[in-house]
Amino acid sequence: MLKRILLIVSMVLLALILLPLLEGLGEQTHVSSLAEYYLSSGADDLNSPNLVTSVVVTYRGLDTLGEVTVLFAAAAGIMLAFKGLKMDEKEREKTQGPSELLASGASLLFPILFIFGIYIFTHGHLSPGGGFQGGVVIASAALLLLLSGVIPGVSHLMTSLLEALAGASYVAIGLLGLYLAAGFLDPRFLPRGEWSGIFSAGAIPVIYSLVGIKVGSELSAVLNAMISKGGEK
């Protein structure tokens, strides 16, 4: 009974917080002055057609660094929680072997998916997409191989090495921007190139590719930790 009352009280509190936002709300026709700057001069500043990418990588790049750190912390927590969690013999018996059709289909699909992931994060400054999406596509490719039983597990050394290298180079490029250009994570120390070419927008494609590699290897390691039978020595 007490629980139910507390439940209703918290729902009412949520409504009280949210209702003032609705009050006197019409259709918005203007964006905030900050967004106005990004929309009007972001394209000339960075020569990148996708303004969301400019915001993620450059203007709010420090936030992205923080988010990548949070992702790393969460991945570390998951690995820690699954470490030493071994399946019983009983559990392992129930695991079904994959079929040959699925295994060969998955090994056929893996390179296509991998290349598609790389395409997504190298074209992040030109079209919708970027490091996070591309990294997830690569992680799903690894997941496909894991689930279809083509490989027993993703190498922990490889994922941790890739992830650490990508993270360190991300910070190094940020410091390079501080040294050669206007500020931390400023991508303008590389030539800005021509409009909507793949080698344009300064270091934005490089930074987003590093984010993609980092996210992809991290999520692959997480999925590996969740799926693997726990038989590691």
Partner 1 sequence: MTQLLYILAFVVMAIGLWGILSRRHLIRMIIGFSILDTGIHILLVAIGYRKGGTAPILDEALSKGEALMNAVDPVPSALVLTAIVIGLAVTALMLSFAVRMVQNNPTMNADEHKELKW
Partner 2 sequence: MIMGYIGGILAIIGSLFLLLAAIGLIRMPDTYNRMQAGTKATTLGSALIFAGIALHQPGWELKMTGLIIFVFLTNPLSSHALARAAHFIGMNPFVKGKSQSSRDDLKARRDEE
Partner 3 sequence: MIYIVAVLGIVIAVSAVFALYTGKILSAIIASGAVSLVASLIYILAGAPDVAMTEASIGSALTTVVFLIAWRRISRIVATSTEKEDKNA
Residue among 150, 152, 158, 129 at smallest CA distance from 218 = 158
How far is it, in rounded angstroms, from Cα 85 to Cα 92?
13
> Applying CB under 8 A, which of residues 5, 70, 101, 157 lies at the interface with partner 1?
70
Q: Residue 180 has which token pair?
A: 């050669």
Residue among 156, 165, 186 at smallest CA distance from 61 = 186
How far is it, in rounded angstroms, from Cα 171 to Cα 116?
26
Per CB under 8 A, does 109 bind partner 3? no
**Which does residue 112 bind out of partner 3, partner 1, partner 2, none, counting CB within 5 to 8 angstroms by kind?**
partner 2
Mask 108-127, x = binds partner 2 (CB under 8 A)? xx--x---------------
Q: Could you say which residues in the range 164-203 bind partner 3, by CB under 8 A?
A: none
Packing angle of the helix pair 100-122, 204-227 (nearest 10 deg): 150
Total site size for partner 1, rule CB under 8 A: 56
In whole angstroms, the minimum distance from the beta carbon of 158 to partner 2 comes to 26
In whole angstroms, the minimum distance from the beta carbon of 196 to partner 3 comes to 16
Residue among 171, 182, 201 at smallest CA distance from 52 = 201
Cβ neighbours, 10 Å, residue 151: 14
Q: Rule CB under 8 A: which residues touch partner 1? A: 6-7, 10-11, 14-15, 18, 21-22, 25-32, 34-36, 38-40, 42-44, 49-52, 54-56, 60, 63-64, 67, 70-71, 74-75, 77-78, 81-82, 85, 127-128, 130, 132, 136, 196, 215, 219, 222, 226
